[in-house]
């Protein structure tokens, strides 16, 4: 199946391919994009873990040797291999990508292919936006979380001074290739992480009927279910991003659970997967909403039960005062207040500026 991201005047439109694909299918899509862009060179950026699984030339039979196949097609192919996870989102890794592009004389017509999850996609999008003020980017997400969320929409960033995604740009890819075959090798913890973002979408999709929101999760035991799940999530994201590409209005609903989730990730030195932290952040945001009268106990219980299906709530331990300090450095903070997305029993979701000390006080009173 194929979705299309139809951008506003600030954005380009681009195709989103969703299917179980073999290597030839992927090469055909890349060739189509490269022909249109008149690209001669391709830089593949991945992480050490994925390189060892799929593409490592030291293996006798690499599963997905896309670099070899593209080279055989006639492209000059460069490959940059970064650390896995949030460790990739650093100035040193950004410099590594940019220097590889420069040393191999990449031009604006050439392409970066992201082969990885959300962290690799974040830094590659930033590198593509910076090099020669704009290099073409193809996202090829390999985790369920990046397939349903970060590969689409054009948010790119690296971390700075223990603050997540503080240095970034808005820069859209030319195409997104979502190959559900990669999910066969995905660890269970990564599926659980994706469910945090799926919960976010389920709440958003029930904007005006939160009281009847069914927060159960679909089965992921077959590729058809996975493709349908990915398509459903992306349709919600595309609708919000197309009308608000620069995160000034309704796109901000996609931040549900993220400020608190990012703070938890940072506090735990990124040892907690992003989606699991977001799920817990949605629960904390719901506690704040209940305290303010925006949710009834039944609504809070619905969210709590859904989150418990993703992560045992007792498994995440943090210091609330430390979380408050981290929130002050959040992109959405201004002084001692922060704009936060809150579930609401009538409106579905609202965005409200809240004093960070008040957030800390509410959480201390309710997480005893």
Q: Is the pLDDT of residue 211 over 70?
A: no
Task: Check whether 218 has a pLDDT greater than 60.
Answer: no
Mean pLDDT value across residues 219-233: 74
How much of the chain exceeds pLDDT 90, in percent?
67
> Encoding tokens for residue 88?
């990739």
Residue 291 half-sphere exposure toward CB, CA atoms < 13 A:
18
Cα–Cα distances (Å) from 323 to 34, 100, 160, 161, 273, in that order, read 45, 37, 17, 15, 17
DSSP category for residue 318: -
- DSSP 3-state assignment of 78? strand
Residue 328 has pLDDT above 70, yes or no: yes
Cβ atoms of 121 and 114 closer than 8 Å: yes
Domains of the chain: 2-185 (3.40.50.1970), 188-366 (1.20.1090.10)
Q: Report d(CA 93, CA 132) in Å as an integer.
A: 18
Name the nearest CA neighbour of 348 among 181, 232, 211, 195: 211
Burial of residue 334 (CB within 10 Å: 0-12, 13-18, 19+) is exposed
pLDDT per residue as tens digits for the range 60-104:
556 688 888 999 999 999 999 999 999 999 999 999 999 999 999
Average pLDDT of the chain to the nearest whole number: 88
Q: What is the pLDDT of residues 29-43, one digit of tens each?
A: 999 999 999 999 999
Burial of 226 (0-12, 13-18, 19+ CB in 10 A): buried
Nearest to 116 by CA among 188, 177, 197: 177
- Quick one: which of 274, 276, 266 has its CA closest to 307? 276
Share of the chain above pLDDT 70, in %: 89
For the whole model, what pTM was predicted? Answer: 0.90
Is the predicted pLDDT of residue 55 greater than 90, yes or no?
no
* pLDDT at 214 > cutoff 80: no
Q: Which two tokens stand for residue 242?
A: 């197309």
What is the tens place of the pLDDT at every residue in 141-199? 999 999 999 999 999 999 998 788 999 999 999 999 999 988 887 888 888 889 899 98
Distance CA 319, CA 19 (A): 43
What is the pLDDT at residue 347?
84
């Amino acid at each position: 199946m194929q979705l299309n991201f139809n951008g506003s005047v600030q954005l380009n439109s681009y195709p989103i391919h969703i299917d179980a694909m073999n290597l030839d299918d992927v090469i055909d899509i890349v060739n189509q994009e490269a022909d249109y862009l008149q690209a001669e060179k391709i830089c593949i950026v991945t992480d050490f873990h994925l390189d060892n699984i799929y593409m490592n030339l030291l293996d006798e039979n690499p599963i997905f040797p896309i670099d070899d196949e593209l080279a055989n097609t006639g492209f000059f192919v460069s490959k940059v291999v970064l650390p896995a996870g949030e460790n990739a989102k650093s100035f040193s890794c950004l410099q590594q990508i940019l220097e590889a592009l420069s040393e191999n004389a990449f031009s604006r017509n050439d392409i970066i292919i992201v082969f990885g999850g959300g962290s690799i996609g974040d830094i590659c999008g930033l590198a593509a936006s910076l090099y020669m003020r704009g290099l073409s980017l193809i996202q090829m997400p390999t985790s369920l979380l990046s397939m349903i969320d970060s590969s689409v929409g054009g948010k790119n960033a690296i971390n700075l001074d223990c603050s997540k995604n503080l240095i970034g740009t808005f820069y859209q890819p030319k195409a997104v290739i979502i190959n559900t075959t990669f999910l066969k090798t995905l660890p269970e913890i990564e599926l659980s992480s994706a469910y945090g973002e799926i919960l976010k979408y389920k709440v958003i999709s029930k904007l005006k009927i939160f009281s009847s929101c069914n927060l159960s999760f679909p089965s992921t035991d077959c590729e058809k279910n996975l493709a349908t799940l990915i398509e459903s999530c992306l349709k919600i994201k595309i609708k919000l991003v197309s009308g608000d590409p620069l995160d000034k209005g309704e796109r901000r609903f996609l931040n549900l659970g993220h400020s608190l989730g990012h703070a938890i990730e940072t506090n735990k030195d990124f040892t907690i997967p992003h989606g699991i932290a977001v799920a817990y952040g949605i629960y904390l945001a719901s506690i704040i909403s209940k305290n303010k009268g925006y949710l009834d106990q039944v609504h809070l219980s619905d969210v709590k039960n859904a989150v418990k299906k993703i992560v045992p709530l007792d498994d995440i331990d943090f210091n609330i005062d430390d979380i408050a300090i981290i929130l002050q450095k959040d992109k959405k903070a201004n002084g001692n207040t922060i704009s936060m997305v809150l579930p609401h029993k009538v409106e579905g979701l609202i965005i409200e500026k809240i004093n960070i000390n008040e957030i800390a006080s509410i959480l201390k009173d309710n997480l005893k």
